[in-house]
Amino acid sequence: MRRALLAALALPLGLTLAAADKDKDPPKAAPVVPPREGKSETIKLFDGKSLDGWEYNKDLWSVDADKGEIVGKNKDEVKVSTYCLTKRKFTDFRLTLKGKLVDGSEMHTGVCLWGAKAPEKGDDYTYAGHLVMFPSGWGMWDLYGREGKLGVDPEPGKKAGAGKQHDWNDLEILAQGNRIRAAANGVPIIDWRDPEPDRIKEGPLGLQLHSLKMPQEVRFKDITVTTFPPEDKLLTVKDK
C-alpha cells in the first residue's frame, strides 16, 4: 500500500518539477553592441583642489586640497547610498582613478555609470544604473534594477585587490557599446556585456558613499576620463 501511494505521488510531483523547469527562462545571451562613435578627448575630472564640475551632498563630500583627494565621509547614518556625480554625462569612455577605503571602514565603495540620478529613492544624489564595486566587495551591481545582481565573478577583483583593503587601488573602467571591462592594480577583473542594452543610458559618472549606520570614509584621486577611446583594450594591464 505504501509503495503504491509513493508511486502515485511521484508522478505528479515529477511532472510539476518538469513543468517548473520548462517555465524558467534561459539566461539571455548578450548581443554585441559596437562602440559608439564620437569625439575622443581626455579630461581631468578632478583638479585636486575643488569639486567644480561635480554635484553632491555638501555635508558628506569634500576636498582634501593638501593631498589632492576627494573625500566622502559620514559620522551619522547614511540611509541611502549617495554619490559624488559628474555634471557631464558619458556613454563610451575609459576612466582611470585611484580609490581608497580608509582604515576602520569596511563597507565597499564603487564607481557608477550608464544611469541617472534617482532622487525618488530617498536621496537627491543616489543613482540608478550600473556599479563597479571595490574593495570589500568586487564585481558589479545593478543599482535599483534586476535585483541588483549582474552575475559578474568577484574573485578576480578579490585577488587583484588582495592586501589593499585600506590602501590605494588603481582602477581602469572601459565602457564601449554594451561592454564593460575593468582592471584593478594592473590586472583585468571584469569583461561583461549587458544582455539588456536598452538599460544603458548616457549618464554621469559617480563615486559611491554606501548606506551605512557606522562612520566611514572613502577617498579618490587622479580621476581622468577619455571619451570614445580609440583603443579597444585595457591600457593599465601589466605585461606578464
Q: What are the tens digits of pLDDT across the range 163-220? A: 999 999 999 999 999 999 999 999 999 999 999 999 999 999 999 999 999 999 999 9
Q: What is the pLDDT of residue 19?
A: 41
Tens of pLDDT, residues 72-100: 999 999 999 999 999 999 999 999 999 99
Three cell numbers at 123? 536621496
Specify the DSSP class assigned to residue 11: H
pLDDT reported for residue 20: 42
Q: Across all residues in the chain, what is the average pLDDT?
A: 90
Q: How confident is the model over 30-40, as pLDDT tens digits?
A: 999 999 999 99
Measured between alpha carbons, how far is 221 from 99 in angstroms, rounded to an integer? 7
Determine the average pLDDT of the residues in 30-58.
97
**Sequence letter at residue 31:** P
